[in-house]
Amino acid sequence: MRGKSFIPRDYDVFSGLDVSKKSMSVTFTNHQGFIRSLNMPHKAEPLLHYVRKHFPDQKIAFVYEAGPTGYGLYDGLAAQAYPCLIVAPSMIPRAPGQRVKTNRLDSKALSENCVGDSLIASMFPLPLTASFAI
């Protein structure tokens, strides 16, 4: 994604990722709405296996909230030429008074906001930068 602009209409499926130390919550959404949410191990391989099995021949974009646990995932997705947006937590739109915060709800918000083009990608980690975050 580095150097390219992100245009949601160019993609069929959007995946919001909320990554924690041991697992990640993943939500898939398309232009018509919610598809499914699930939890899986915090590694790129199971995610890519799932995507290839359930969404063959569809263009997929990934988005996750910036944090130290997602850099390895970003590297794995980028190595397979999947676009992956990284969004600063402060740049994710939230409704006033929204206080409930769970990994599943966060991943759903990320994927839905990605479809609506209401996210602003904040950074793309360089290998040297990512090594400082670990």
CA dihedral 44, 132, 2, 5 (to 10 degrees): 90
Share of the chain above pLDDT 70, in %: 75
Provide the pLDDT confidence category of residue 125 given band limits of 50, 70 and 90.
low
What does the pLDDT read at residue 126? 53
pLDDT digits (tens, 9 = 90+) for 6-48: 677 788 998 888 888 888 999 999 988 888 999 999 888 999 9
Residue 23 phi, psi (nearest 5): -145, 175
**Residue count (the chain):** 134
Instruction: State how far the Cα of 31 lies from the Cα of 24, in Å rounded to an integer.
Output: 23
Q: Does domain 9-133 have CATH number 3.10.20.30?
A: no
pLDDT digits (tens, 9 = 90+) for 78-93: 888 888 888 877 666 6
pTM: 0.78
- Confidence check: pLDDT of 134 > 90: no
